[in-house]
Structure 1
């Protein structure tokens, strides 16, 4: 799957690594309501396309997942700052 890397020069590989690191950092640094968004720009850093759209849960299952995700942030980041900011639009 990653055969394209075999043909890259050292400089091209370094450029690819910097591009991937920038994408990972942008995703890592998402905060507030941006944590909840679909991030196709991260997957677009790969040379191949996913091939099919994601399977989206129905609303009740989706909302239970959102609540579980938010609860996991309390467990994994108990000292994180909290925000009272309301959701105001897309990414």
Structure 2
């Protein structure tokens, strides 16, 4: 699957690593309501081109998953700052 790496020069490999690290950092640095979004740009960093279509749970099951995810943040990051900013329709937190 990653045979293309064998033909890359050292400089090309370093460029690839930098690109991947930037994508991982962007995803890692997501915060607030951004944590809930579908992130196809991250998958777009891979050389193979595909458009994976996720299986989307029905609303009740989806909301259960959201609640479990938020509960996991309480367990894993109990000291993280909290925000009460509402969600904005365009996806950007309201100030």
TM-score class, shorter: over 0.9
- Rounded Cα–Cα distance in structure 2 between residues aligned with 1:83 and 1:54: 29
TM-score (normalizing by structure 1): 0.95
- Is 1:48–2:48 an aligned residue pair? yes
- Is 1:70–2:59 an aligned residue pair? no
TM-score (normalizing by structure 2): 0.91
**What is the RMSD computed on CA atoms of the aligned residues?**
1.1
After TM superposition, which residue ranges in structure 1, 4 or more long, deviate above 2 angstroms? 49-52
Post-superposition Cα deviations, 1:26-83, rounded to whole Å, max 9, x if no partner, equal 0000000000000000000001134541111111110000000000000010000000
- Rounded Cα–Cα distance in structure 1 between residues aligned with 2:50 and 2:85: 33
5+ residue gaps, structure 2, are: none
What is the number of residues matched between the two proteins? 91
